[in-house]
Structure 1
Amino acid sequence: MAGGLLLTAAGCSSEPEGNSGATPTADPVDVVVTPDDGAAEVRPDLPVTVEVSGGTITEVEVERTDLDESAEPPEESDAVTGTLNEEGTEWVSDWTLPPGGDFTVRAVVEDQAGEATEVTSSFSTLEAVEGRRLELESNFPVSGDVVGVGMPIIVNFDLPVQNKAAVEAAMEVVSDKPAQGAWNWFGDRTAVFRTEEYWEPYQEVTVNMRLAGVQASEGVYGIENYQLNFEVGRSQISEIDNDTHRMVVTRDGEQIQDFPISNGDGSTRAYTTTTGVHLTMLKFESMVMDSATVGVPEGHPDYYRLDVDYAVQISSSGEFTHAAPWNTDLGVANRSHGCTNMSTEDARWFYENSSMGDPVIITGTDRELEVDNGWGYWQRSWDEWLSHSTLGEADRTDEPGSPGSPHGTA
């Protein structure tokens, strides 16, 4: 197979008048499978290809042959799929292969007379060595979650990623309803997928992270594929006006709540509520708020330590919505340390009715929410977000595949 396999098949046709009676033959079919038959320690990020001349490819199957027969059947996301060109002369695998595996390629080709022949080729992939195996450390959301329409997909890796384009291309996002999005990186270990507009509500989203075999950095390979399935629920968007001291909650386009609130008093930057598009993050029925966690240590004149109920996190700089029964200026003035104070009843409603990823839009302050403060990813315009993608191309979530290629080059 290394040099191509020459196949010759007899063709069938009616004999023209006056012919000597010899049966015409089709031109030979030349088939080349890469990697070569018998190849060992093949880089798992290199593509599997089948190329023919003098005929067409009708079927290609790549099977992993080293797995224990008693083991669980491979997941659908582990299947080695490929794309055949329009001429039917070249097949290329879509994704990378798991490291340390044995594989057999079976291809069926037809010559110009329509006679089919099957060829096979086998090879093994390079092992991923200890300490250089890229794995998923965490992700938000997790499978089974029901999230708000602003929810990004956040993937945290256990090792730094230098080859970001390949890793982006290996992560396919599929949604029931059409959208386009792109990945951005925050450091070398965190990739975030955000859509151009909020997700359409009431739909399923699947993320196929085909990381097995992707070369994330020189000599560092992903060792496992992952699949994430979550649901986008109702659309709930809350708008907080710092000047009117009100929070208006809209669900599926209809206003359902109008709460009096009190934001940060603005006496310092730390005590100024940030303006911008926040997302609800974690929720705590009760918690201790200690200013030391946001840079105001014990002993400082502005130090505080409070027990609060029904806290909903909206940034990483200490901003929550929460019950503040001690604040008598709800709906009147801003008196907090930067959080959005609410009555106990209103805070409990918001706590019970918030899903992770609900947008909370705050206006009217002179402190802008940073894009990497919590989940402030909507602070970038779509054009900015797309320009920060390594691939620089939008991914259509209603179409298979992703922009770019996860494959490396030989």
Structure 2
Amino acid sequence: MTSSAAALTISPKDGATDVATSGALKVAVAQGTLSAVKVTDHDGKEVAGTLTPDGASWTPARHLDTGTTYSVTALAKDAKGLEAAGTATFTTLTPANTFSATDNITDNATYGVGMIVSVTFTKPVKDTKAVERAITFDTNPPVEVKGHWFGNQRLDFRPQDYWKPGTKVTVKYRLDGVQASPGVYSTFTKDEPFQIGRSQISTADAVGLQMKVERDGQALRSLPITTGAPEFASWSGTMVISEMARVTRMNSATVGLGAEYDIADVPHAIRLTTSGTFLHGNYWADSFGKSNTSHGCVGLRDVKGGSDTSDAGWFYNQSLIGDVVKIVNSQGGLVKPDNGLSGWNLPWTTW
């Protein structure tokens, strides 16, 4: 019986252990072309791969998972069509040093059209490209979603423009096997579905002292407001609702303003920035539509204890996390893109 001249090589070798999750797996042939390569994990799930145009080698399309046994079966043919076969089984490394990720998404929740997915990593990331490639977005209708790094432990994602109302999104984490920095791997894999609700965009005018609320492009209501006093001017720019609380304590010491205020029961508190900008109910002042008297927040008329029929209560009940709030005509300077979910202030080319 004539044997094939095709010489198959499978790396790593059969029985190998502690195999690297990237760069180690390769199937190649000399004096022939690969006709089939199949790599499966212990659950039978197949690993996608890429065959070179000349059919001489195959490599996986993505990194492998940690602590996983893989089986390789390969077939090749020589110039006469005679077939050669090869098999191997190997196991990837189990890392001693790991990192993981958390984000601001709740499974199956509904968010506003300005929602930015913000991912925080438990350890600094050196290979940012590898980590970013391992987080993908499935969207319906389709839309391109890109990431932007703020430092080496925060990665935010958004589309070029606000999401279309009704968009269904699934964030797919395939970080298992990704090496963030030398010797530091993730074992994290998860799918997180959410959806985009209606469009609500509100514009707070620090000069006109009104906030216009638009729903799906139509004017919904205009509310009298107060914004930051001259010495505490509100940030300007596009912000996104990131948290909501029917009542919260606000203490100026927590935002670097000393003993300016300490209010135990601020009603209808809607967070706009990490640094402490809120849109909230105010029962202790009567400057709405008249003058700017706050310490940087946007204040709406309310009563002690909060009322659903007050301006603040109405707006709170109309709002979703992910809704857009713009502050215009303020002297406070443009909000930084990493201050809360303010990444819409970065142009897409920079993002």
Aligned residue number for residue 327 of structure 2 = 362
Amino acid at match of 2:39: V
C-alpha displacement at 1:279, in angstroms?
A: 0.4
Distance 1:82 1:376 in 2: 38
Aligned residue number for residue 352 of structure 1 = 317
C-alpha displacement at 1:230, in angstroms?
A: 1.4
For the pair 1:92 / 2:50, whether they are aligned, the reply is: no
For the pair 1:125 / 2:89, whether they are aligned, the reply is: no
Distance 2:244 2:46 in 1: 38
Instruction: Determine helix, strand or coil for the equivalent of 2:124.
Output: coil
The answer as to whether partners of 1:310 and 1:348 remain within 8 angstroms in 2 is yes
CA RMSD of aligned residues (A): 2.3
User: 1:212 and 1:161, CA in 2 relative to 1: closer, same or farther beyond 3 A?
Assistant: same
Aligned residue number for residue 27 of structure 2 = 50
For the pair 1:310 / 2:280, whether they are aligned, the reply is: no
C-alpha displacement at 1:64, in angstroms?
A: 2.5
User: 1:106 and 1:349, CA in 2 relative to 1: closer, same or farther beyond 3 A?
Assistant: farther
| 1:51-70 → structure 2 map (5 Å cutoff) | 51-53=28-30, 56-65=33-42
In the alignment, which of 234, 237, 240 is matched to residue 279 of structure 1?
A: 240
For the pair 1:377 / 2:343, whether they are aligned, the reply is: yes
Structure 2: runs of 5 or more not aligned: 303-309
For the pair 1:251 / 2:212, whether they are aligned, the reply is: no
Give the TM-score taking structure 2 as reference length.
0.89
For the pair 1:213 / 2:177, whether they are aligned, the reply is: yes
Distance 1:110 1:176 in 2: 42
Distance 1:214 1:161 in 2: 10
Give the TM-score taking structure 1 as reference length.
0.77
Instruction: Determine helix, strand or coil for the equivalent of 2:350.
Output: helix
C-alpha displacement at 1:56, in angstroms?
A: 4.6
User: 1:99 and 1:249, CA in 2 relative to 1: closer, same or farther beyond 3 A?
Assistant: same
Distance 2:171 2:77 in 1: 36
Which fold has the larger relative contact order, with Cα–Cα distance below 8 Å and residues 6 or more apart in sequence?
A: 1
Higher fraction of strand: 2
Distance 1:88 1:252 in 2: 53
Amino acid at match of 1:278: M
C-alpha displacement at 1:275, in angstroms?
A: 0.1
Deviations, residues 76-104 of structure 1 (Å, cap 9, x unaligned): xx753223345554332122122222211
For the pair 1:36 / 2:13, whether they are aligned, the reply is: yes
User: 1:351 and 1:110, CA in 2 relative to 1: closer, same or farther beyond 3 A?
Assistant: farther
Aligned residue number for residue 167 of structure 1 = 131
Bigger radius of gyration: 1
Deviations, residues 387-409 of structure 1 (Å, cap 9, x unaligned): xxxxxxxxxxxxxxxxxxxxxxx
C-alpha displacement at 1:124, in angstroms?
A: 1.8
Distance 1:237 1:57 in 2: 56
The answer as to whether partners of 1:96 and 1:210 remain within 8 angstroms in 2 is no
What number of residue pairs does the alignment pair up? Answer: 342
C-alpha displacement at 1:330, in angstroms?
A: 1.4
C-alpha displacement at 1:357, in angstroms?
A: 1.4
Worse overlay, 99-108 or 307-316: 99-108
Aligned residue number for residue 74 of structure 2 = 107
User: 1:347 and 1:318, CA in 2 relative to 1: closer, same or farther beyond 3 A?
Assistant: same
Instruction: Determine helix, strand or coil for the equivalent of 2:17.
Output: strand
Percentage of identical aligned residues:
34
Deviations, residues 199-237 of structure 1 (Å, cap 9, x unaligned): 222111122221111111111111232222211222211
In the alignment, which of 147, 150, 171 is matched to residue 183 of structure 1?
A: 147
Distance 1:346 1:113 in 2: 82
In the alignment, which of 168, 174, 177 is matched to residue 204 of structure 1?
A: 168
The answer as to whether partners of 1:95 and 1:210 remain within 8 angstroms in 2 is no
For the pair 1:329 / 2:297, whether they are aligned, the reply is: no
C-alpha displacement at 1:263, in angstroms?
A: 0.8
User: 1:115 and 1:360, CA in 2 relative to 1: closer, same or farther beyond 3 A?
Assistant: farther
Amino acid at match of 1:135: S
C-alpha displacement at 1:110, in angstroms?
A: 5.0
Deviations, residues 324-372 of structure 1 (Å, cap 9, x unaligned): 1333221222122211111232211221221211111111112221122
User: 1:292 and 1:250, CA in 2 relative to 1: closer, same or farther beyond 3 A?
Assistant: same
User: 1:318 and 1:94, CA in 2 relative to 1: closer, same or farther beyond 3 A?
Assistant: same
Instruction: Determine helix, strand or coil for the equivalent of 2:270.
Output: strand
The answer as to whether partners of 2:130 and 2:180 remain within 8 angstroms in 1 is yes
User: 1:109 and 1:145, CA in 2 relative to 1: closer, same or farther beyond 3 A?
Assistant: farther
User: 1:118 and 1:147, CA in 2 relative to 1: closer, same or farther beyond 3 A?
Assistant: farther
